[in-house]
Structure 1
Amino acid sequence: MIEWLADYGLFLAKTATLVIALGVILTLIAHGRRKGQSGGGATLKVVELDERFQRRRRQLRLAAEPKASRRQLAKRLKKSGKQADKQSAKERADANTERVWVLDFNGDLKASGTPALAELVSLLLEEIRSGDEVVLRLQSGGGLVHSYGLAAAQLDRLRDAGARLTVCVDKVAASGGYMMACCANQLIAAPFAVIGSIGVVAQIPNVHRLLKKHDVDVELLTAGRYKRTLTVLGENSEEGRAKFLEDLASTHDLFKHYVGERRPGLDVESAATGEIWYGSQALAAGLVDAVGTSDAYLLEKQRQRARVLKVSLETRTGLIGRLGKGVDSRLEKGVDGVLQRVDDLRWQRR
C-alpha cells in the first residue's frame, strides 16, 4: 500500500510539473501574441548598405585573383580595410556627411504595410537633419482608395517636413501605387516599370435575377436616400447606378487633384485616363523625373561618400525567433568578421 502511494505521489508530481511547464509555455506564447498585436513585436533594423557592398566586393576581388597571389591581396585588402574603417569613422562623426535613409514598400490590395511605414516615417522625422535624403523603393499595383490614401499621406508627412524624398520604382507603381509615388520630390522609374493607371474602378456582382427565379426575396432597408446605391442581392435601380457612377467620378477627380498638386508640370487630364506607361514612356509624359534603377541610384550615392542606411521593421515570429533577435549587435558584428576571414581563406585555397 505504501509503495502504491509512493508511485502515485510520483505520478502526481510528474503530472503537476508537466502542467506547470505547459502553462509557462502558453503564457509566453500569449504574451508574445499580445506584444505583436500591440506593435511591440517588431524590431527596428538598420543596415549600412555601403559596408555590406564593400564586404562582397572584397570577396569578388579575391575570387577573381590568381590563386598564387590571393594571400598577398587579402593582406593588402585587410590593411586598406582598416584605413577605410578609420576614414569611415571620421565621416560618421562629421555632421555634414549626407545620410540616405532607404525604406521599402511592397503594397498589396489593402496597403497592409502602411502601419510599419507610418512608424518608420515618425522615427525618421525625429532623426533627419538638413542634407539628408529618404529613398523609398516602391512596388505596388494599387488597391483600396482609403488604404492607399493613408499610405500616401505618410509620405506627405516627409514632404511637408521639408525632407528630400526620392521614390524609386523598379517594377510597378500603378493606381494607388502611383498615388504614393507622386508624393516624391524626385521620382525615378526603371525603363520597363509600369507607371500610371490614374483611374478608379469598381466591380459588383448581382445575383438578384437568380434569386428571383427561385422565389427568394431580399429586403434591403435603409435610412438615407443613397445609403446603398448598388447591391449584390437586391434589384439595382437606374438612380442607384447613376449615383454610383457619380461617386466614382468624384473619387477620380480627387485622385487627379492630388496628383496635380504634387506634380504641377504634369498634364493631368491627359495622364488620368486609366492607362499605364512604361518607364521610358512615363518620362516623356511627365509622370516621372528620370529613368533608372534603385540599385544604380544608391550605388551613385555611395560613390559620393554618402552613408546609405536601410531601415526596416522586422516582426518577430515565435519564441525562438524573439530570443534570436535579442543577440547583441556587437556579437553579430564579431560573427561577420569571422565569416569574412573564413571567406578570405576559402578564396586563398582555391
Structure 2
Amino acid sequence: MKKTILLIIFSLLTYLSSAQNIELFPFSTAATDNLFAAKVNPAALSFGNAGGFGLLINNDFQAHQDEFSLFFNLTHLAYILERNRDNFFHTVALSQNIIKNLYLGSAFNWTDTDLSRSNQTLSLLARPLDSISLSAQLYRSYEADVEYLLGFALRPLFFSGYLKDRLTLSADIAYKEAWQDPSFTLQSELADGFSLNIGYDTGEQRFCLNIEIALPHLQAGSITPFNQDYQPKQGYYYLNLSAKKRRSIIMPSAEYFFDYKPGPKIVEQKRETRIGPFYLVSGEKTIYEVLTEIEELSRDKSVKGILFENHNLLTSYAGLLEIREALQEFKATGKKIVFYYEQANNLNYTLAASVADKIYLHPQGSIDLSGFSISLPYFKDLLAELGIEVINFRSHDYKSGGNILSESSMTDEERQALEELIAAFHKQAVDMINTGRSDKLSKPVIEIIDDGPYMIAGRALEAGLVDELIYQDQVEEKIRGLFSIDGIVDHRGAPPVRSDWSDEPTSKIALIQATGSIHPGKSRLGVSIGSESLARAIRKARQDNSIEGIILRVDSPGGSALASDVIARELGLCRSGYQAKPVVVSMGGVAASGGYYISCLADKIIAQPVTITGSIGVIGLTFNLEELFEKIKVNWSTIKAGKHADLGVLHRPMSEEEKDIIREWIAHIYQSFTEIVAEGRDLDIENVHRIAQGRVWSGAEAQKIGLVDELGGYKKAIEVLKELASINRDVELVAFPRRRGIALTLESSLVSKYLNMGNKSKLPESFDSLLKLAEVYSRFGDERVLLILPYKFNW
C-alpha cells in the first residue's frame, strides 16, 4: 500500500510537469507488456514480462549511427536512454500492482538540454479476464497539450488450449480536443518463438509490420512502417535480453533432474529480530517453503525428477511426514525421485525408502536404521548431595515435566507414556518403509530394523535397503541411463513469461505461526511465543475484513499457564466474538500441554500421526536450598508482615500449609484446563479427565480419543478451512503479524550469534540438557505454575 501511495504521488507530480506521447506503432497499449512496456504503457511493467535489457536502432544504421535507444527494465522500474543525433532523451517509468489484475504506471521524459521540455504519461492497465485487457492513458506535453488514449485487447481463441494466448486483436483510440480515428493491431505467435504483428492506423491510413524471432532469453525483431502506397519507410531493428524465459523457435525444452538442497535444517518458523527498520532473518527454509518448492517443481515441465544427495534433513518427525506427502504428490505426476547417501540417519532413510524410485549408497557408507529410543538424565540424587531439595507439584503422575529434577529414575507412569510414544513412532516408520520397499527387502521390516544399524554398506545392499553401491561422481551417469534426461541441475532457470493475463480471484486466509515455549510478553519469532504478540496477531487477523479464515500453526511444548490462557481467550473470540471467523490449528512436531491449551478452542485441529500432543496437566516447581546455604556458610534473616509474605523463598522448606496453597492453585488451573478442552472439543468433563491427567499422545491416538479432528499437515488444514469458510476458489496465505520493515536474510549461525542462541556450553550431554532446561524455565519469570512438556526428541 505504501508503494502504491508513493507511486500515485510521483504520478501526480510528474503529470503537473507536462507530457508528450512518444509512439511505438504497432504496439497496443492494452496488449503490450514486453521490452517496450515503459514507452507504450508504463503500467504494464508490473505485469512482470518486461524485465531485461534492450537495444533499438534505425534499420538504416549507416545513415543513422547517432540514433539509438537503450532499455533497462525491472519489474516496477525502467529507464530508457534515447539518442537522436545530438540530443539525449531520458525516460524514467514506475509501475505498481494496485489490486489484483489492476496496474498503475507513470513515466517522465526529459532532454539533457532543457528539463522544462518534459513529457509525462499516467496509465492504467486492467486485465480482468485471460481474454480481455483494458488500458487508459493520459499524456501531457511540454506545450501543455493533453491527450487521452483508451485501449482494448481481446484474445478470441481463449477457449482453445494451444492457441488461447497466441492471437490477440487490439484497438486504440485517442481523444485530443476531439475523438481521433482508431488504430487496430493483430498480434500472433502461431509457432513457438515466431511472432508476427500487424498494425493499421485508420487516421493516417498506414500499416506497420513487426516481426520477432525468439530464443529463451534473446529476442530479435524489426519494426517496419509502410506509407499509404504500401512502400516501406524508415524502421527499426531491436535486440532484447529478457529476464524471463520465452518460447523459443529452435531450442526444445530440455528435461533435467533437479539436485534439491532444502536443508539441512528445516524449521517451522524463521528466527528473526528487529533492529530499527531492519529485520535480521535466519536463512533456513521453513517447512511451508519446502512444500511450496516441491509443488513448483512438480509443475515445471523441464524437471523430470528430484535428486537428494547426502541430505539428512534436520526437522521434526511430523515435518518429514509433510515433506513425504509433497513428494508423493510429486511422484503422482509421473516424475521420479532418487536419493544418494554417504551416511543416512534413521528418519531420513525412512523418508527415502517411502518415496524413492532409487536409493544409492557410497561403497563405504552406512545407514543408521535401528529404531527409536529416548534416554533421560535424573538429577535428584545429585541435587540432594549439593543440598538442594526439589518440590515437584504436579497435577497427576503422568505430568512428568519436572521429573528429571525431582526423581532418581523414570517413574512407571512416565515410562508407560514414553513407551507408547516410541511404539507409535516405530510403527509409522515400519509402515513407511513397507510402502516403498517391501518388495525389495530381504526380510520383514521389523527384522531389518532389529538387525541394524548397517555400518557396512554391503550389508545394507544385501538387506535390500539400497539399490546399488556407487560413488557420488557416478550418480549422474546412473540417472541419465535410467531416466533418459539431459542432465542434473542444482538451480532452477528463470521462470517463463506470463502467457495468461488474469490472476484468478483468491480468498485470503491468515497464517499465524506459534513456535517455541509460551511466556508472557513479546515473542521471539522462531524461538518462543509471547502471549502479547500472538494474541495481537490473532486479533488483527480476526478484525481484518479481507481475511476469511485463520490457520494457526502450533509447534510448542507449552509453558506459562497465564500466557496460554491469554492466547486461548483470543482464539475463542474467533468463534463467538465480534467479526468471528473460522480457525483451524495445524500441529507441527509437538503441540502439548500449553501448546494444546492454545489450540483446543479452534474449530478444527489437524495433526500428523506422530505429532506429540495432549499432556493436559499442570506442574509447579519450587526449590529448598536450606542445606546448600548451610554448607556454603550463608545465613539468612527475614522480616515480614503477612503470614505468607515469604512464600516460595529458597532458604527454608515450605510448610504443609504453604504446600496446600500451591496444590490448590495447581488443581484450580487443571480444572480450568479440562473445562476449556471440554468446551473446545465438545466433550464431557469426565471424558476429558479420563484422557488428560498429564498423559501425552501421538497424533494418531489423539484423533481416536477426540483431541484431534483429522490427520495431515498444511494441505489438509487449508482444505478443512476452505470447507468451514465456504471458500470455493484458490486461497492466498497471508502471514500475520504483517512485517513492516526491510528483511535482511543472514546465515543461521550469524542470527544465532546475534540473538545469543548458539551453544552455551561444552558440558556433557546430561548437564547440557539441565542447562537448556534452566534457560527455558527462566523465560517464565516468577510464574510457578506451568503447562509444559519436558521432552524434546532429536531424530
TM-score, normalised with respect to structure 2: 0.30
Q: 1:123, CA displacement in angstroms?
A: 2.7
Q: 1:213, CA displacement in angstroms?
A: 5.0
Q: Does 1:290 align with 2:707?
A: no
Q: What secondary structure is seen at the aligned counterpart in 2 of 1:102?
A: strand
The amino acid that maps onto 2:690 is S
For structure 1, list consecutive stretches of 5 or more residues without a partner in the other structure.
1-34, 69-76, 93-97, 323-350
Q: Distance in 1 between matches of 2:692 and 2:292?
A: 42
Q: Distance in 1 between matches of 2:738 and 2:278?
A: 8
Match of 1:189 among 607, 614, 623: 607
Structure 1 contact 189–292 (Cα < 8 Å) conserved: yes
For structure 2, list consecutive stretches of 5 or more residues without a partner in the other structure.
1-272, 281-287, 305-334, 336-483, 487-494, 520-527, 746-795
The amino acid that maps onto 1:308 is E
Match of 2:670 among 229, 252, 258: 252
Match of 1:99 among 508, 514, 517: 508
Q: Distance in 2 between matches of 1:175 and 1:320?
A: 33
Give the RMSD, CA atoms, in angstroms: 3.8
The amino acid that maps onto 1:270 is R
TM-superposition CA deviations, 1:301-341 (whole Å, max 9, x none): 69963213131447789x9949xxxxxxxxxxxxxxxxxxx
Q: 1:127, CA displacement in angstroms?
A: 2.1
The amino acid that maps onto 2:561 is V
Q: Does 1:276 align with 2:700?
A: no
Q: Distance in 1 between matches of 2:717 and 2:518?
A: 28
Q: Distance in 2 between matches of 1:185 and 1:237?
A: 44
Match of 1:305 among 710, 714, 729: 729
Matches within 5 A, 1:1-350: 55-59=296-300, 61-64=301-304, 82-83=499-500, 86=502, 88-89=503-504, 91-92=505-506, 98-110=507-519, 112-128=529-545, 132-159=548-575, 160-161=577-578, 162-212=580-630, 216-265=634-683, 267-298=687-718, 305-313=729-737, 321=744
Structure 1 contact 169–189 (Cα < 8 Å) conserved: yes
Give the 3 Å change call, closer, same or farther, for CA 297–121 of structure 1 in structure 2. Answer: closer
Give the 3 Å change call, closer, same or farther, for CA 255–308 of structure 1 in structure 2. Answer: same
Structure 1 contact 42–313 (Cα < 8 Å) conserved: no
The amino acid that maps onto 2:732 is V
Q: Distance in 2 between matches of 1:268 and 1:114?
A: 25
Give the 3 Å change call, closer, same or farther, for CA 282–239 of structure 1 in structure 2. Answer: same
Give the 3 Å change call, closer, same or farther, for CA 112–101 of structure 1 in structure 2. Answer: closer
Q: What secondary structure is seen at the aligned counterpart in 2 of 1:205?
A: strand
Higher Cα Rg, which structure:
2
The amino acid that maps onto 1:277 is W
Give the 3 Å change call, closer, same or farther, for CA 241–106 of structure 1 in structure 2. Answer: same
Q: Distance in 2 between matches of 1:315 and 1:129?
A: 17
Give the 3 Å change call, closer, same or farther, for CA 53–102 of structure 1 in structure 2. Answer: farther
Q: What secondary structure is seen at the aligned counterpart in 1 of 2:732?
A: strand
Q: Distance in 2 between matches of 1:299 and 1:156?
A: 21
The amino acid that maps onto 2:649 is T
Give the 3 Å change call, closer, same or farther, for CA 286–220 of structure 1 in structure 2. Answer: farther
Q: Distance in 1 between matches of 2:739 and 2:639?
A: 44
TM-superposition CA deviations, 1:169-210 (whole Å, max 9, x none): 121111110001102000111101011111111122211123
Give the 3 Å change call, closer, same or farther, for CA 297–256 of structure 1 in structure 2. Answer: closer
Give the 3 Å change call, closer, same or farther, for CA 119–237 of structure 1 in structure 2. Answer: closer
Structure 1 contact 220–234 (Cα < 8 Å) conserved: no
Q: Distance in 2 between matches of 1:129 and 1:42?
A: 26
Q: What secondary structure is seen at the aligned counterpart in 1 of 2:620?
A: coil
Relative contact order, CA 8 A, sep 6+: which one is greater?
Answer: 1
Q: Distance in 2 between matches of 1:180 and 1:213?
A: 44
Give the 3 Å change call, closer, same or farther, for CA 36–136 of structure 1 in structure 2. Answer: same
TM-score, normalised with respect to structure 1: 0.63
Q: Distance in 2 between matches of 1:244 and 1:116?
A: 29
Q: Distance in 2 between matches of 1:259 and 1:37?
A: 39
Q: What secondary structure is seen at the aligned counterpart in 2 of 1:204?
A: strand
Give the 3 Å change call, closer, same or farther, for CA 224–147 of structure 1 in structure 2. Answer: same
Q: Distance in 2 between matches of 1:175 and 1:54?
A: 33
In percent, how many aligned pairs have the same letter? Answer: 23
Structure 1 contact 198–255 (Cα < 8 Å) conserved: yes
Structure 1 contact 114–151 (Cα < 8 Å) conserved: yes
Q: 1:136, CA displacement in angstroms?
A: 0.9
Give the 3 Å change call, closer, same or farther, for CA 67–268 of structure 1 in structure 2. Answer: closer
Give the 3 Å change call, closer, same or farther, for CA 54–269 of structure 1 in structure 2. Answer: closer
The amino acid that maps onto 1:115 is E
Where does residue 71 of structure 1 map in the other structure? Answer: none
Where does residue 248 of structure 2 map in the other structure? Answer: none
Q: Distance in 1 between matches of 2:646 and 2:719?
A: 53
Q: Distance in 2 between matches of 1:154 and 1:122?
A: 7
